[in-house]
Chain A
Amino acid sequence: MNVMTKQAPKELEPLIYDLSAAGRTGALLPDCDVPPSELPAELLRDTLRLPEVSELQVIRHFVKLSQLNHAIDKAFYPLGSCTMKYNPKLNEDMARLAGFAQLHPLADTESSQGALALMYQLQQWLGEIVGLKHVSLAPAAGAQGEFSGILMIRKYHLERGDTKRTKILVPNSAHGTNPATVTMAGLEVIELPANDGGDVDLDALKRVCDERGDEIAGMMITVPNTLGLFEAHILEVVEIVHNAGGLMYMDGANMNALMGVVKPGELGFDVLHYNLHKTFSTPHGGGGPGSGPVGVDDKLKPYLPGPIVAILEEGSDDEAPLYGLVMPEKSIGRLKAFHGNFGMHVRAYAYIRAYGAEGLCDVSRHAVLNANYVRARLMDTYKIPYPRYCGHEFVVEARLDGAPDVHALDISKRLIDYGIHPPTNYFPLIVPEALLIEPTETETKETLDEFVEVMKIIAEEARTNPELLHDAPHSAPTRRLDEVRAAKQLVLCCRPALPEAGD
């Protein structure tokens, strides 16, 4: 059994609770100008321990913690748009404008016209980008986008009295959320194998559709797929599924490869979810929040999750239209309170507006070019299982000749020593020892070259001094973490234990 190095991390910064001293305060409150009244005794508790610290202690504590962290604002981060590409600071400025940031979600329609106009325009633009003209911004994240997409497909079949369609086809390279979504929607997954080229196995697809076509509700597929490969026969895949009576769902996680180049609606997709927090550069991870709008064609429009923004009264040359929130006719319903994650809509709007149509094409072209450049430069050093042009990302099979004990995880941990965040590890599952590398459009050639050189040095170290990799990282604030213990003993909060009763 491969036991991880279990070295206690150095104490780099105490918990905020350990900085506490009774009576110390961090904020000065003005004198109260109304008569105070005591809180009811039954609502008071003395078990809640809050840290008592000064403002400067708080600032230093969190600045130190942030400096221990790796971030895309500090160095190369080849997790790419999958996790979070660079978010231009303009987005943040726009989202902080008082008219957006301080608008109350229950403000009436007349006083929310600016925000509603922004949401309406974003719906239109997102629809244009993927060629599916009806869009709802309601889903709070990609998983909700997927969930609403599959619920729409389900409802579409049920409304026509077609109750036998309970199966969704999912390729084995899919994101794990796809089968989870299908199950949550009360449907069942039929898993499809990939062929040797990394595409969906068309023979297997035909066989399933011939044998059980009347049970197929639809297919969920990611384009480019999770191997970073554009499905070579996507038009045939769409045709086979449509001929069986199923609908096509596209997981838009990898839209960063396609903007302005391919419109999924024109390929025949019926529904797609966007990840604004991937493709459209809104924050993601560590609190996000995400945003996962869905786009559909005409036949699914009545089922969109709501509310969506519509024009209530047409405008004229002198007057703007009146925008308002409406629920689609046969909507699958609401996914959360209010109108989706509005702050993310503002950021995505700012991003699209700043780049413009031609700029968004360049984003995808550069993302694809950068990935192919790194792939081509690493081909002689690492095994690259699918030798063809990739989309915005590519997979390395991190098994090196002459270094049998070195695994993808060791290479990843060693990258940290060179100041580079590791790429995605061990996904997609169909490639052993996978490293999924996504440089994104914003990196310079110099940065890409530096990454390639580091990867070559690490390959050499793996052969000459594998222990260096097994013990990595050496230079990070914490050494190799015990992943088994982390998975089995979920302790997520850093706070002192509550005193025992009677303590």
Chain B
Amino acid sequence: MAAMTYPSDLKYAKSDEWVRVEGDIATLGISDYAQDALNDLVYVQFKPVGTKLEAGDAVCEVESVKAASEVYSPVAGEIIEVNSALQEAPETINADPYGAGWLVKIRVSDASPLADLMDSEAYKAYCESR
């Protein structure tokens, strides 16, 4: 098994999403741990661009050979872009969860919940304890 990766420039949620904030734009995806646990992804369905979100709202649903799971936004804001290439090639999330496998971009209206997220060290410890 290849070792899990936990890039240090990202923040992580307990529900296994990662988020990268640049200005007021947050890019969201699922972690290496999450894609490995879900196994081969076969389907992604996004909330439409323009959807207003409270922190904790679902932004999309991902389905693997094992399970269907919702992906939650840790921040409040509005979906401004979805990675529609994943609809044809959901396996990109397995191959590159932190890069080409990103899910949605959100214009953040309330960034305060970001303070509750884990850094890569804390998230790595959290994953290894499970």
A1 touches B43 (CB 8 A): no
| Chain A 387-418 interface mask (CB, 8 Å, partner B; 1/0) | 00000000000000000110000000000000
Nearest residue (CB) in B for A483 is B65
Contact (A484, B91) CB under 8 Å given A1-B40, A2-B40? yes
Does the CB pair A1–B1 fall under 8 Å? no
Q: Of residues 427 to 484 in A, which have CB atoms within 8 Å of B's CB atoms?
A: 429, 432, 483-484
Who on chain A is nearest to B92 by CB?
A: A1
Known: A1-B94, A1-B95, A432-B130. A484 touches B40 (CB 8 A): yes
B42: CB under 8 A from chain A?
yes
In Å, the complex CA distance between A429 and B68 comes to 10
B43-66 at interface with A (beta carbon < 8 Å):
43, 63, 65-66
Q: Is the CB of A426 within 8 A of B94?
A: no
Residues of B contacting A483 in the complex (Cβ-Cβ under 8 angstroms): 40, 65
User: Which chain B residues lie closer than 8 Å to A176 at the CB level?
Assistant: 68
Task: Tell me if A488 and B42 are in contact (CB < 8 A).
Answer: yes
Query: CB distance A432 to B37 under 8 Å?
Result: yes
Determine the chain A residues whose CB is within 8 A of the CB of B40 once the complex forms: 1-2, 4, 483-484
* Residue A487 lies at the interface, judged by CB distance under 8 Å to chain B: yes
User: Does A487 contact B42, Cβ atoms closer than 8 Å?
Assistant: yes
Question: 1/0 per residue A15-40: CB within 8 Å of B?
Answer: 00000000000000000000000000
- Which residue of chain A has the shortest Cβ distance to B94 in the bound complex? A1
**Range class of the A interface residue count:** 10 to 19
Contact (A429, B67) CB under 8 Å given A1-B95, A404-B1, A484-B91: yes
| Nearest CB of chain A from residue B32's CB, rounded to whole Å | 12
Q: How far is the CB of B125 from chain A (nearest CB, A)?
A: 17
Given contacts A405-B1, A487-B42, A488-B42, contact A1 B65 (CB under 8 A): no
* B90 nearest in chain A by CB position: A488
Say if the beta carbon of B120 comes within 8 Å of chain A.
Answer: no
Bound Cα distance from A483 to B91, whole angstroms = 13
Question: Is B109 engaged at the interface, CB distance under 8 Å to the other chain?
Answer: no
Are A484 and B42 touching (Cβ within 8 A)?
yes
B63 neighbours in A (Cβ, 8 Å) = 487
Smallest CB separation, A192 vs chain B (Å): 16
Look across to chain A and name the residue whose beta carbon is closest to the beta carbon of B40: A484
Residues on A with C-beta less than 8 A from B91 are: 1, 484
Docked complex Cα distance between A263 and B68 (Å): 34
Q: Kindly supply a per-residue 1/0 record for chain B positions 58-81, scoring 1 wherever the CB is within 8 Å of any chain A CB and 0 otherwise.
A: 000001011110000000000000
In the bound complex, how far is the Cα of B2 from the Cα of A405, in angstroms?
10
Are A2's CB and B39's CB within 8 A? yes
A116-135: CB near B (< 8 Å → 1, else 0) gives 00000000000000000000
Establish whether residues B95 and A426, one from each chain, have CB atoms under 8 Å apart when the complex forms: no
In the complex, what distance in Å separates the CA atom of A2 from the CA atom of B42? 13
A405 to B3, CA, bound (A): 12
Q: How far is the CA of A4 from the CA of B42 in the complex (A)?
A: 14
Contact of A426 among B1, B42, B66, B130 (CB under 8 A): B66
In the assembled complex, how far is the CB of residue B92 from the closest CB belonging to chain A, in whole angstroms? 10
CB-CB nearest in chain A for B93: A1
Residue of A nearest to B66 (CB): A426
Instruction: Using CB atoms, name the residue of chain B closest to A486.
Output: B65
- Chain B residues lying within 8 Å of A404, measured Cβ to Cβ, are 1
Taken together as a complex, chains A and B put the C-alpha atoms of A1 and B40 apart, in Å, by: 7
Considering residues A4, A404, A425, A487, which has the most beta carbons from chain B within 10 angstroms of its beta carbon? A487
B37 CB contacts on chain A under 8 angstroms: 432
Knowing A1-B40, A1-B91, A1-B95, say if A487 contacts B65 (CB, 8 Å): yes
Chain A, Cβ-Cβ closest to B63: A487
Q: How far is the CA of A353 from the CA of B2 in the complex (A)?
A: 57
Cα–Cα distance between A483 and B39 once the two chains are bound (Å): 11
Within the complex, the shortest CB–CB distance from A351 to chain B, in Å, comes to 34
**Closest A residue by C-beta to B96:** A1
Q: Return B31 CB to nearest CB of chain A, in Å.
A: 15
Q: Could you tell me the distance in whole angstroms from the C-beta of B63 to the nearest C-beta in chain A?
A: 8
Which residues from B are CB-within-8-Å of A1? 40, 91, 94-95
Residue of B at shortest CB range from A404?
A: B1
Not counting A1-B40, A425-B66, A484-B65, a sample of 5 additional A-B residue pairs whose C-beta atoms are within 8 angstroms of each other reads A426-B67, A432-B130, A483-B40, A484-B91, A487-B63
8 interchain residue pairs of minimum CB distance: A487-B42, A483-B65, A426-B66, A1-B94, A484-B40, A488-B42, A404-B1, A429-B67
Which B residues form the contact surface with A (CB < 8 A)? 1, 37, 39-40, 42-43, 63, 65-68, 91, 94-95, 130
What are 25 pairs between A and B in contact, CB < 8 Å?
A1-B91, A1-B94, A1-B95, A2-B39, A2-B40, A2-B94, A4-B40, A425-B66, A426-B66, A426-B67, A429-B67, A432-B37, A432-B130, A483-B40, A483-B65, A484-B40, A484-B42, A484-B65, A484-B91, A487-B42, A487-B43, A487-B63, A487-B65, A488-B42, A488-B43
